[in-house]
Chain A
């Protein structure tokens, strides 16, 4: 009988000890996160004034050949319509069209055309060599007159409104 009581007391002691231990454990502080990570994006905005460029170039550079005499328009111009910001012609390229582009200064051959724009003559298809001052800066609201001459081979026959060649102006903001 004493043994049974002793066993019960022992069991009771174990249960009490376990409960006490559990209570003690519940008082240990929980560990919290000690650092945090934050990511910040770097954003780039490129403000490009080229968007504001508003330039009018001639729709065509007409060339008339009548009785062997070449006539060109005298009203061609490049107009800077921007209210602010100057522009400048930085390159002029002449590409072959219905006629091949020849050398203006030593013009010869059949089926050819040569141009000289603001004093800068073609040497064949490709970019003109722009002389200094030929295409000065065009200020806002101003226009740059285009003075051009042409030479056309005599044996081109009768042509009407053909695209003899193409002139590409590259215009950049100053």
Chain B
């Protein structure tokens, strides 16, 4: 009895450690047999490795630099983009902006729209455009946080890294900033939050 039990246990272990290919026998002429195609996803790509899904790897800009001259003209970087280094397609699900402490969001527009603002009011308007999508701008609500993109839309989609023509989207951004009485050197006035997700079939 013990031998039988040991045999069964050994069989179970052996089965769990190896990829099994059961042979199907066709015994009659014209007989059919269906062979299943099985898939296992593992970290090391082996049949007995640790299970793992496709890894997501997306690069976003480290910062959105803005430079303003004494006349109030704001210059932004023109080489920002999101790059999908993953094997699978991804999309930007949400983009939001949160003003840093002491700074306040206001409606984006021409810089003349801030002409009536007090100096050092620390207000700024922000605009962002992903790829061929529409520009999304902050509004005049006093909220410290504003949603710029609430659901994936044109410009938010990236193919997998295998398609170098489609695995990235350019980011065009701009801002207007109320006058300031002191110079600043790369201070953080806001954070832009991106949520990236798989571009799923369903």
Q: CB-nearest residue of chain B relative to A45? A: B67
A42 vs B103: C-alpha distance when bound (angstroms): 11
Known: A29-B51, A42-B175. A47 touches B66 (CB 8 A): no
> Does B187 lie at the interface of the complex (its beta carbon under 8 Å from any beta carbon of A)?
yes
- Which parts of B3-56 form the interface with A (CB within 8 Å)? 4-5, 8-9, 12, 15-16, 40-41, 51-54, 56
Interface residues of B (CB under 8 A from A): 1, 4-5, 8-9, 12, 15-16, 40-41, 51-54, 56, 58, 60-70, 93, 97, 124, 126, 175, 177, 180, 182-198, 200
Q: Is the CB of B197 within 8 A of A34?
A: yes
**A30-B52 in contact (CB<8A):** yes
Given known pairs A30-B52, A48-B183, the reply for A20 and B195 (CB within 8 Å) is no
Q: Does A39 contact B (CB under 8 A)?
A: yes
Please name all residues of chain B whose beta carbon is closer than 8 Å to the beta carbon of A37 when the two chains form the complex: 193-196
Q: What is the bound-complex CA distance between A20 and B11, given in angstroms?
A: 10
Closest to B126 in A: A42
Closest residue of chain B to A48 (Cβ to Cβ) is B183
User: Interface readout for A26-51 with B: 1 if CB under 8 Å, 0 if not?
Assistant: 11011111111111111111111111
Which of B1, B64, B93, B182 is close to A43, meaning CB atoms less than 8 Å apart? Answer: B64
Asked if A40 contacts B62 (CB within 8 A), the reply is yes
Report the separation of the CA atoms of residues A19 and B184 in the bound assembly, to the nearest whole angstrom: 67
Nearest Cβ distance between residue B82 and chain A, in whole angstroms?
9
Contact of B68 among A16, A23, A46, A173 (CB under 8 A): A46
A91 at the binding interface (Cβ < 8 Å): no
Pick the 8 closest A-B CB pairs, nearest first.
A32-B53, A48-B183, A35-B197, A42-B190, A38-B60, A46-B184, A19-B12, A42-B64
Residue in chain A with minimal CB distance to B195: A37
Check: A15 CB closer than 8 A to any chain B CB. yes
Name the one of A12, A42, A46, A51 contacting B63, with C-beta atoms under 8 angstroms.
A42
Nearest CB on A from B55, distance (A): 8
- A87 vs chain B, min Cβ distance (A): 13
Min CB gap A36→B, angstroms: 5
A43 — nearest CB in chain B belongs to which residue?
B186
Instruction: Tell me the bound Cα distance from A19 to B11 in angstroms.
Output: 10
Is A19 a contact of B68 with CB atoms below 8 Å? no
Chain A positions within 8 Å of B, measured between CB atoms, are 8, 12, 15-16, 19-20, 23, 26-27, 29-51, 173
Cβ B183 vs Cβ A39 within 8 A? no
A45 and B58 in contact (CB under 8 A), knowing A36-B196, A39-B191?
no
Interchain CA distance A121-B40 in the complex, whole Å: 92
Return the chain A residue nearest B82 by Cβ: A38
Which of chain B's residues have a CB closer than 8 A to the CB of A49?
A: 69-70
Report B-chain residues with C-beta under 8 Å of the C-beta of A48. 70, 182-183
Q: How far, in angstroms, from A27 to B47 measured CA to CA in the complex? A: 11
A38 to B202, CA, bound (A): 24
Contact A41 B198 (CB under 8 A): no
Please state if B188 and A38 are interface contacts (CB–CB under 8 Å).
no
Contacts of A23 in B (CB 8 A): 12, 15-16
Determine if B193 and A42 form an interchain contact, defined as CB atoms under 8 angstroms apart.
no
How far, in whole Å, are A33 and B197 apart by their CA atoms in the complex?
Answer: 9
Which of B61, B63, B64, B67 contacts A47 (CB under 8 A)?
Answer: B67
Q: Please give, as numbers and ranges, the residues of chain A lying within 8 Å of B56 by CB-CB distance.
A: 33, 36
Give every chain B residue within 8 A of A50 (Cβ-Cβ).
Answer: 70, 183
**Cα separation A27 to B20 with both chains bound (whole Å):** 13
